[in-house]
Amino acid sequence: MDESGVAFLQKMIVSPSPSGFEQPVQQVIREEVRQYTDEVRTDVHGNVIAALNPDHELRVMLEAHCDELGFLVRYIDDQGFLYFATIGGFDPSTLPGERVLIHTTTGPITGVIGRSPVHTLSAEDRGKAPKLNDLFIDIGVASKAEAEKLAPVGTIATRAAQLERLQNNIIVSRALDDKSGVFTIMEAMRRIHAQREKLQTGVYFVSAVQEEVGLRGARTAAYSVDPLIAVAVDVTFTTDHPGTSKKDLGDIKLNGGPVISIGGNINPRIYQLLIKAANEAGIAYQVDAQPSNTATDTDVIQVVRGGVATALVSVPCRYLHTGSEMASLKDIDEAADMIARFVLALNKDTNVIP
């Protein structure tokens, strides 16, 4: 993975994108994907849809969601403390003391999610997770008027955590769910574009919105693109750290390679073609068994129009929905390589009927 790719991922992380407010990151994505496609558009929901070889009858869609968790200012008290609603699914116990960025019209300002010091909590309360509606953001002002001038009701915020490098190809950041997935399909598009003389399909890149609040963008984008084949890329849980169960979630680890799902939402022929692409490239992969649904955009893409031959490729990720999600650049690189090889092997004779 070259440093220019990591710089693009970092640029996405810096650009806030809580569900419903994805415009800053989508601008970054539009600028990047233009290099590898023939046309780019943005639909009324905010999905970015780009096409390589758009006139081809056989359409393949590569999709990931660009939205992240966030906060929406809902009420400001007389002392200037900001009370918020959460955008997406949070564990309240991970929030007290977290620094956040309030994304104002004049740029980001820093705040802190407040909580009474442990010294002042009763013995009973010390062992309890806080309630979300008891939490507030402190931006260091002293009045409602001062707070309203900076961050009126309706202002969004995100955790302040940014991308950092750890050991063994590991990165840590907020919002790797699912900006690492967008990074993966962007890398796949770059590699496909570099070999477009081999391409025998039309390929559609989709950076979808509002996954965290109901898989919305993927549904409308897939209806618009009308692909025969679609590969969604998201993150998935790992079981390589304390407090997890391989019996419940399978054996998934960082640096173990891309994760390929199997189950009712997955077209068995597309699954096998992804396995073939990985094997031919010597890429180790991991299998995620999903007997009912995947809880990803795959589930809605599959049932658009008359049905889509869908697959799900995942980036292993520790500590999902915290401010310190961990993923591996090696896994991302290999997932992109596998997907690019898979797409370049498709043609009009590819059979997707189970």
Task: Name the more confident of 126 and 327.
Answer: 327
Domain spans of the chain, in order of start: 3-68+174-344, 70-159
pLDDT at 79: 97
> What separation in angstroms does the CA of 107 have from each of 12, 14, 56, 101, 166?
16, 12, 43, 9, 29
> What separation in angstroms does the CA of 57 have from each of 31, 163, 177, 252?
26, 40, 32, 37
Q: Strands (DSSP E) along the chain, which ranges?
A: 39-42, 48-52, 59-65, 70-76, 82-87, 99-104, 107-113, 137-138, 156-159, 164-165, 170-173, 202-208, 229-237, 259-263, 286-290, 309-317, 325-328
**Stretch 174-195: mean pLDDT, rounded?**
98
pLDDT in tens, 27-49: 999 999 999 999 999 999 999 99
**Is the confidence at residue 338, as pLDDT, over 90?**
yes
pLDDT in tens, 49-62: 999 999 999 999 99
pLDDT at 1: 67
- Topology (CATH level 3) of domain 70-159: Elongation Factor Tu (Ef-tu); domain 3 (2.40.30)
**Stretch 304-324: mean pLDDT, rounded?**
97
**Stretch 77-89: mean pLDDT, rounded?**
97
pLDDT at 125: 67
pLDDT at 5: 79
> What separation in angstroms does the CA of 153 have from each of 16, 38, 84, 85?
18, 40, 9, 11
Sequence-distant (≥ 6) Cβ neighbours of residue 181 within 8 angstroms:
64, 65, 233, 234, 235, 315
pLDDT at 2: 73
Task: Name the more confident of 248 and 182.
Answer: 182
Q: How confident is the model at residue 133 (pLDDT cuts 50, 70, 90)?
A: confident
pLDDT in tens, 143-167: 999 999 999 999 999 999 999 999 9
Looking up tokens 């991302």, which residue turns up?
Answer: 332
Catalytic residues: 211
Superfamily covering domain 3-68+174-344: Zn peptidases (3.40.630.10)
